Each structure stands twice: as C-alpha cells, then as structure tokens.
Structure 1
Amino acid sequence: MQAQAEKDSLTSIKNKKTIENTILEMVEMSKEKDEQITLGFLDIDHFKDFNTYFGHQVGDKVLQFVSAVLKEQLKGEIGRVGGDEFIFCFVGKKRKDEIEKEMNRLLQLLKSGFYDKNSQQTISVSCSIGIAIMKGKDADYTELIRLGDKSMYEAKDAGRNSFIINELD
C-alpha cells in the first residue's frame, strides 16, 4: 500500500510528494558529500493539443510514453509533479557537455514518438527542459527548484523542444 501511495497511478513513477521528499534528501546528501546536484524540469509542449485533437486516452499515452523514456534514459530519480510536468534529479559530477548530450538524445527520442493504433499514426512529443546545476556545498532545495523552473521557461521562450542549463556558481 505504501508503494502505491508513493507512485503516480498513470505513469508508475514517483508522485509529486514522494519526488519532492526524495529531492530534499538528495540535496542534503549532496551537501554532506560536497557533490554536484543536477535537477531538471520537463514540460510537454502544447500538451492540451493532444487531448483536444486525439482525446484524453492519447493524452494519457503521451504521459506514459514520456515517463517510460525518462526511466529508460536517465539515471537518478524521476517523478511527475503534475499534469504534463516531470522532474528528475541526480547527485554526482557530470560535465555540462555530458548533460547536453543526454538532453539532445532525450529530445530526439521523444520527438521520434510512438505509434498509436487507434489513430493509426505516430505521435511525436516535443518538450521543454530546464536544468539546474549546483555544487554540493551550495545546494539549496528552494534555489534548485527555482533555477530549474526558470530554466524550463527559458527553454519554452527559446522556441520549445529545447533545453536550457543554468549553473549556480
């Protein structure tokens, strides 16, 4: 029962409360070990259009597809924080160019989409991703969330289907 209470029922990844608590623990761990912490917000671009044009059933499949790709491609913790917004976080040194490579691969996989039998077409998914990177000794939960969210909106403003990485020096 506890496992069910910690999971998002549609995607089977951590729900908002569970992922927030997990990230709080990760921030403390990164401080203690003085290790880099990286957080990402992912928002599906124009998600309402999937529900409007294809129906809510396809909208649900889009959410499940995105969560499956995140689970498959990213190491660390992943959760759904609401609607069409996901969050991921990991502790440990990763160079900016490594993160850029991962995000480009992630966007490409999402854009390649999945085949929906009901509509008999491939559904392509575009996302905006905001990444926040902090040094362990400087790790602060509130600032990490703020910077990740800000970065995601910068990606949307830059034309969507992209990512922005911001580092707190």
Structure 2
Amino acid sequence: MSYNLNASPSHLLHRAQQIAANHSASALKTAGLTLRQFSVLAALSGNEGVSQSDLVNATGIDRSTLADMVARMEAGGMIKRSDSKTDARAKSVSLTAKGKKAFDKALPAVTKADAALFATLAKAKQDALMQGLGGLVEEAEKADAAPAPKARKAPAKAAAPKAAPKAAKKAPAKKKK
C-alpha cells in the first residue's frame, strides 16, 4: 500500500513551514535573531505589558520553551518582566529599547523574505492561501479551546472471586558432599 505525501495537508503544511522558516531564518541572521525570538518581539511590538500566557497564545511557542526564551531574552536586555498590574501571580513582558531596535532592524528582512516566498504565486493565490491558513488556525484553536466531551463511564465489572493463596514451594534441600 502506498501513500501520496503530496496529497496530505499535514505533510504539505509541514513542508511549507520548513521552507518559510528557512527563508526567515536566513533573513534574520543579519539581525542576530532566531525566528522564535523575532516572533516574541513581534508579539510584544505594540502590545506592551502582556503576560507570558498571552505570548504563548500569540506565538504558538510552548510554555516551557517560551519561559526559557523570555529568561534568555531578558538577560540579553531585549525584554523586561515586571509584576502584572491585573494578576498578582503573573508577570508582564515588555520590549526594552534594545529589543525595539532589534525588532525594527529585523522587520524589513522578514517582510522581504515573506515577499520572496510568495513571489511565485499570483496575488489571488496569495490571498486565498492566507485566508485558508488563517481560517485553519482559527478553527483549530477554537476546537482546542472547546471543553473535551466527558467520557462515559464503563459499566462496573463484577469482582472476580479471589483465588486462595498458593502455598510457597519449599526450596530443594542441598546435598552434602
């Protein structure tokens, strides 16, 4: 039995993501940023003081990876964390002047990489692809946020009678020489 990878949405999305990430990574080298770091800076640009949970939702980076990244980016002076004004348990994350400068330096390169990626597609196909991807992400996030259906309880099984414990076997006697 064979499987056509080019007919698989999951495979094609994965390949497209690899190609897009490679384009962006090359563009970001000159700014000294990774694609994930740029994503964090972009999410913070114009959204000062958001929580790390908000950054997880905006960037799609998992919590533990983002927590490590935020700590490193804070140590590097690109972002700062402060106590949240609305939630005593949370920290607010903001760009520093250094982070804003890094974002501003990287943005034209990423914009150019995105344009180069789409240059092979007609405008109508670009628009359709963006609309389709946006819709896919939106619907998937809605499905993920929906409460999981409650599992039905299986009928209780009748307890099986316990077998009587077996007597321990005696070890064979050792022969004397």
* Same fold flag (TM > 0.5): no
Please tell me whether Structure 1 or Structure 2 has the larger radius of gyration of its CA atoms.
2
Q: State the TM-score bracket (shorter-chain normalisation).
A: under 0.3
Task: Give the strand-richer structure, 1 or 2.
Answer: 1
Task: Give the helix-richer structure, 1 or 2.
Answer: 2
Give me the TM-score of the superposition, normalised by structure 2.
0.24
**RCO higher in structure (CA 8 A, sep ≥6):** 1
